[in-house]
Chain A
């Protein structure tokens, strides 16, 4: 019998369950290694060489090199683990979270100061909120992409 997973229809959200954890095991363990200052220094000195010490998939390595956190998550990364990469780069949680929306740092910060993102239209896939797939990327980047498309 299949496991109960009632969380697959939440837009813009990947729940880190046992299956994701299995997929992302080495990616996340690589992230854990960045809690040591020596390892952070070695990673920064030669990212590719440091990544090659880990039995991660090539896609996971590319996602890390690109600092594309959404891509990292699709390959099994979890944000609490991925935060070690951001910390190594000197980034805050707000900068990391914002980077996954397509918004600029200022746009994302302004959204939070104004009270954050509304849950309206963002509870289920198929609604029309700003986190739905049809509205990505968000902010100026999204408006530019839309202008080019039309």
Chain B
């Protein structure tokens, strides 16, 4: 049986990718932010999954106004790195996992989520920056990402975007889908975007440390309560682009404790930093308890 071992949450600011691509990570501006990911890179090397399901948003890259799917699941064998206007980032292409992705698509649609299935798309900084943050610099040709990635693109560009509760419930459906897959795979689910930021208008540059940290607290301890917060609170408190944070609820909803009488996931890392360009950077790693080992112990 496949299972979700851990969830990772991180911002995906494009300037972070640019800082890595241009070798600026040791500059005083960037050094404290990247230091927050030293632990995470070591953790991922020691806990490399078989597959990552990456929840992210496309920034008008694969999806222009031609098509605006609310939830788009990638079932392709591979994804090219997009040219977002500055030229493609010099990072490896992304290898998919079509078998597990197709299984998730079928199961989640049967649980009443109307996913869009995508067999061809380029991936933008929303997906590649979290990989870079967690894996470090990678040569676009000689290197590869540590495992296949299944992209789940969420519309947070055109309102209305999905509600927090809808996202949490999609996460629950994804967990059921993964646990009904026969092959013994370790899967991590990553929720990306945020934290507080606004990129537009006279209010550009808004940052709300208190609200962001309350979001992190609630995400850990009370995800169902957090999922009830309406969009307008995100906009007022965390800026118009802070709404990306609803995507973290998909990853959180996939953790075992949300549906079952299980202890809260173990928080192995928490980090918060301001600023990265226009944005507050937030980061969490949560592990599911190794329940199968516990189960086995009790059976014996």
Contact A6 B15 (CB under 8 A): no
Contact B235 A15 (CB under 8 A): yes
Among candidates B14, B83, B158, residue contacting A36 with C-beta atoms closer than 8 Å: B83
Residues of chain A from 23 to 79 with CB closer than 8 A to chain B in the complex = 25, 28-29, 31-32, 34-37, 40, 69-70, 73, 78-79
Residues of chain B from 206 to 248 with CB closer than 8 A to chain A in the complex = 206-209, 211, 230-232, 235-237, 240-241
Q: Is the C-beta of B60 less than 8 angstroms from some C-beta in chain A? A: yes
Among candidates A16, A29, A86, A98, residue contacting B157 with C-beta atoms closer than 8 Å: A16
Per-residue 0/1 for A105-123: is the Cβ within 8 Å of any B Cβ (1 yes, 0 no)?
0001001110111110011
Contact A25 B159 (CB under 8 A): no
Contact B84 A35 (CB under 8 A): yes
Per-residue 0/1 for B82-104: is the Cβ within 8 Å of any A Cβ (1 yes, 0 no)?
11111100000000000000000
Give chain B residues whose Cβ lies under 8 Å from the Cβ of A116: 196, 205-207, 274-275, 278, 280
Give chain A residues whose Cβ lies under 8 Å from the Cβ of B260: none
Q: Known contacts A21-B65, A94-B278; decide if A117 and B203 are in contact (CB<8 Å).
A: yes
Q: Which residue of A lies closest to B206 (CB)?
A: A117
- Give the complex CA separation of A96 and B82 in angstroms: 21
Q: Which residue of A lies closest to B83 (CB)?
A: A35
Among B15, B66, B207, max chain A CB count under 10 A is at: B207
Contact B200 A138 (CB under 8 A): no
Q: Is the C-beta of B299 less than 8 angstroms from some C-beta in chain A? A: no
Among candidates B29, B202, B207, B277, residue contacting A92 with C-beta atoms closer than 8 Å: B277
Give chain A residues whose Cβ lies under 8 Å from the Cβ of B199: 79, 93, 96-97
Contact A92 B18 (CB under 8 A): yes
Q: Is the C-beta of B23 less than 8 angstroms from some C-beta in chain A? A: no
Per-residue 0/1 for B59-88: is the Cβ within 8 Å of any A Cβ (1 yes, 0 no)?
111001110000000000000001111110
A: interface residue count bin: 35 or more
Contact B15 A37 (CB under 8 A): no
- Give the complex CA separation of A28 and B61 in angstroms: 12
Contact B15 A78 (CB under 8 A): no
Among candidates B85, B87, B159, B280, residue contacting A15 with C-beta atoms closer than 8 Å: B159
Q: Which residue of B lies closest to A89 (CB)?
A: B85
- Give the complex CA separation of A99 and B204 in angstroms: 9
- Give the complex CA separation of A94 and B87 in angstroms: 18
Q: Is the C-beta of B201 less than 8 angstroms from some C-beta in chain A? A: yes
- Give the complex CA separation of A5 and B239 in angstroms: 16
Q: Which residue of B lies closest to A19 (CB)?
A: B159
Contact A28 B206 (CB under 8 A): no
CB of A86, distance to nearest CB on chain B (Å) = 8
Contact B85 A87 (CB under 8 A): yes
Among candidates B84, B200, B237, B274, residue contacting A100 with C-beta atoms closer than 8 Å: B200
Among candidates A11, A18, A37, residue contacting B87 with C-beta atoms closer than 8 Å: A37
Contact A73 B205 (CB under 8 A): no
- Give the complex CA separation of A73 and B61 in angstroms: 18
Contact B278 A29 (CB under 8 A): no
Give chain A residues whose Cβ lies under 8 Å from the Cβ of B204: 12, 97-98, 100-101, 108, 117
A-B contact pairs, 25 of them (CB 8 A): A10-B203, A12-B204, A15-B235, A15-B240, A16-B157, A21-B158, A25-B65, A28-B64, A28-B65, A29-B64, A73-B200, A78-B158, A87-B85, A88-B85, A92-B18, A93-B277, A93-B278, A97-B199, A112-B278, A115-B274, A118-B206, A119-B208, A123-B236, A131-B203, A135-B202
| In the A-B complex, the 9 residue pairs with the closest CB atoms | A116-B207, A87-B85, A12-B202, A12-B203, A131-B203, A12-B201, A97-B204, A17-B159, A32-B64
Q: A residues near B, CB below 8 A?
A: 6-7, 10-18, 21, 25, 28-29, 31-32, 34-37, 40, 69-70, 73, 78-81, 83-84, 86-88, 92-94, 96-98, 100-102, 108, 111-113, 115-119, 122-124, 131-133, 135-136, 138
